[in-house]
Amino acid sequence: MGGFILPRLPKLSLTFFVPFSFFLLYLALVCGEYFYEHAELNEQLVLKQTEHIQKDLFRMRHVIESAIVTQDFERIEQEVALLSTEQSMMVYVILDSVSDIQFANHIIWRDSNASNVIEGYSAERHRSSVINNKPYVDVNFDRLSIQAYYPLNTNSRFSYSNAPELVYLEYDIVNLLSEASERLLKRFIEIWGGGAIVLILFCLLLHYVLIRPLKQLSQAAKNLEEPDFNNNVVCVVSEINNLRDYLNLVKARLFRSRKRLNDAEQRWLFAVEGARNGIWDWGIATGEVFVSDRWKEILGYQPYELDNDYSVWESRLHRDDKEHVLNTLQNYINNQNDEYESVHRLRHKDGRYIWVLDRGKIVEWDVAGRPLRLIGTITDVSGDVRNQRISVDKINNTGLTDLINRELLGNELYDLQVFSRKTGQFSALLMTNLDNFKLINDALGRQLGDRLLMQIAARLSGGFSATCLVARLGADEFVILAKSLGSEIDQANKRALALASEVRTTYWPWFYNCRTKLVNFSENWHRCF
């Protein structure tokens, strides 16, 4: 089951976090206000300068038209020369119909084509303004200039081809905008600098009234056991005073609860240690199992030798007792039994089995009433049952073939599942049976069939018992259980196929030949063995 893991956030002190947050918010407001006013101021200045340029162009058109009527071109020269004295006027030229420069604020441009000498000039815009007889004024923020195409009404009065028809100018607004920005920045420094001083005073007051008492109370809460843990905390805020009072109540309750817990723990430890019992604590939901040092000692282990896992206990159950023990435990968890108590065998470290009395009780439930935690004890009762203990090897084995039977094979499969999950190793189960075995029994008699089964079991055990578990599943069915085939599925498949091939090629041809001889030459059946 997947889930989203939140990143671990750094821990910040209120002493740093609160002033930092206020100043960050203050800085954001200041910067936002500055850039907004800066944009508004630039737009207003540019609009104002554009209106001024339009007025000058309107006046210049009348000057040019009247000068052309009187043939007083020197007057035009004087007007253009006067405009060239203004530093912000980058380009001021008077063009004819083919974009040739008739008059210019730079003498070297005279009699040149505007498209060749003026970078920002557009002949298409020139023609559009003249045809529509409409001025075009635009602010080019890429070039930081104001561009104007202002048409003249002269072609209708004069017939010569090079008569002036348009005034083109570019006005530099860099100085205008920079001076406005300097004035705005100076004003903001004066106004917002005073605001920063006020904010600092407010943060100092907030630190003294709120943050400092909280910090003192937090430090004092680490020493709740001290009788005067909050005597130095003084604050005028009612919420912090209430928090201090609540901590006093918590301190009193904690002291009483700790005393009761210590008393109960001492009594419990005395009872357990006196009885020499081993303690276990099983978290049903998580599968974690805590076992005491005495529990490990009963099984012959040191305190550091066993993991806290459910399989540590289950894997040590005797295979004859496992089903009964697990059923008893599950019935108790399902509330079918009033108590959990079982006498069974656990595997000792040296390989032998010891008898234990296992008791447990549910001590914790979830909101739905399902058990979450089970605590119990084990007691070594081997001495009490030593005289009653019987050998179960013959009971566990099939009498004819001396192989484990179906019931014990199921227990082994369960243990193998636990082992495979814990180690990450794959396992394989091979099942095979004898064809026409009933024919042998019917034709040659049950005695000969039993002899054949014993021989097959002996050969399988001799060939595979060192690495695998061999079991008899039914009358003529055998099972080979192989474990630890590897942690990779492809590798495990190859090993399982190799094992199956070995069984088929090495052993079953002998079974087939033997069966054929038994069927066809019953009088010589003993030769097959």
405 and 506 share one domain: yes
Please determine, for residue 507, whether its predicted confidence score (pLDDT) is greater than 50.
Answer: yes
- The answer to whether residues 281 and 265 belong to one domain is no
Of 135 and 449, the structure prediction assigns the larger pLDDT to: 135
Q: Is residue 196 part of a domain?
A: no
Six-digit token string for 390: 């019987």
pLDDT tens-place string over residues 56-65: 888 888 888 8
Q: How many CA atoms lie within 13 A of 280 on its CB side?
A: 28
Residue 9 is given by DSSP the state P
* Contact (Cβ atoms closer than 8 angstroms) between residue 473 and residue 409: yes
Q: What is the pLDDT of residue 391?
A: 36
Which residue is it, tokens 């210049």? Answer: 60
Q: Which contacts (CB < 8 Å, 24+ apart) does range 287-291 have?
A: 289/313
Domain termination residue (choose one: 179, 194, 214): 179
Contact in structure between 11 and 111 (CB atoms under 8 Å): no
> Residue 486: what pLDDT?
80
Same-domain pairing of 136 and 42? yes
Token digits for 131?
Answer: 């045809």
Q: What is the mean pLDDT of the chain?
A: 76
8 Å CB contact between 278 and 377: yes
Which of 358, 389, 420 is a domain's end point? 389
Whether residue 380 is found in the same domain as residue 416: no
Tokens of 379: 């007691």
Q: Based on the domain organization, do 91 and 103 belong to the same domain? A: yes
For residue 343, the 8-state DSSP code is: E
391-415 tens-digit pLDDT: 334 344 445 555 677 777 777 787 7
- Is residue 376 located within the same domain as residue 497? no
Q: Label residue 146 by pLDDT band (50, 70, 90).
A: confident
- 495-505 in b/e form (b: 16+ CB < 10 A) is bbeebeeebee
State residue 229's pLDDT score: 57
Same domain, 153 and 55: yes
Asked if residues 289 and 309 have their Cβ atoms less than 8 Å apart, the reply is yes
First-to-last CA distance in the chain?
58
In a domain, 451, yes or no: yes
pLDDT per residue over 60-89, tens digit each?
888 888 888 787 788 888 888 887 778 888
Task: Give the percent of the chain with pLDDT over 70.
Answer: 78
pLDDT band at 513 (very low <50, low <70, confident <90, very high): very low
Domain that holds residue 243: 231-275
- pLDDT tens for 190-204 read 888 888 888 888 888
Q: Which residues pair with 344 in a beta bridge?
A: 356
Tell whether 339 and 401 lie within a shared domain. no
Give a yes or no: residue 258 inside a domain.
yes
242/305 same-domain check: no
pLDDT given for residue 393 in this prediction: 41
- 379, part of any domain: yes
Same-domain status, 300 and 237: no
- The pTM assigned to this predicted structure is 0.38
Look-up of token digits 């529990």: 295
H/E segment holding residue 30: helix 14-69
Q: Indicate the helix (H) or strand (E) that contains 469.
A: strand 468-472
Residue 193 placed within a domain = no
Q: Which of 323, 354, 389 is the last residue of a domain?
A: 389
Shared domain check, 472 and 377: no
Residue 8 covered by a domain: no
CATH number for the domain that contains residue 319:
3.30.450.20
User: By three-state DSSP, how is residue 235 classified?
Assistant: coil
Separation of alpha carbons 527 and 510, rounded Å:
13
Cα–Cα distances in Å, from 514 out to 333, 438, 448, 486, 521?
A: 54, 15, 12, 36, 10
Question: pLDDT (tens digit, 9 = 90+) per residue, 276-286?
Answer: 678 888 888 88
CATH number at residue 453: 3.30.70.270
Q: How many domains does the chain have?
A: 4
What's the rounded Cα separation, in Å, for the pair 108 and 411? Answer: 108
Closest CA to 96 of 169, 165, 159, 168: 165
Residues 123 and 90 in one domain: yes
Q: What is residue 210's three-state secondary structure?
A: helix
Q: Say if residues 42 and 50 touch (Cβ distance below 8 Å).
A: no
pLDDT higher than threshold 60 for residue 511: no
Examine residue 206 and state whether it is found in any structural domain, yes or no.
no
pLDDT in the model for residue 458: 66
Residue 512 lies in a domain: yes
3-state secondary structure of 403: coil
Number of DSSP helices (H) and strands (E) in the chain, helices first: 17, 13
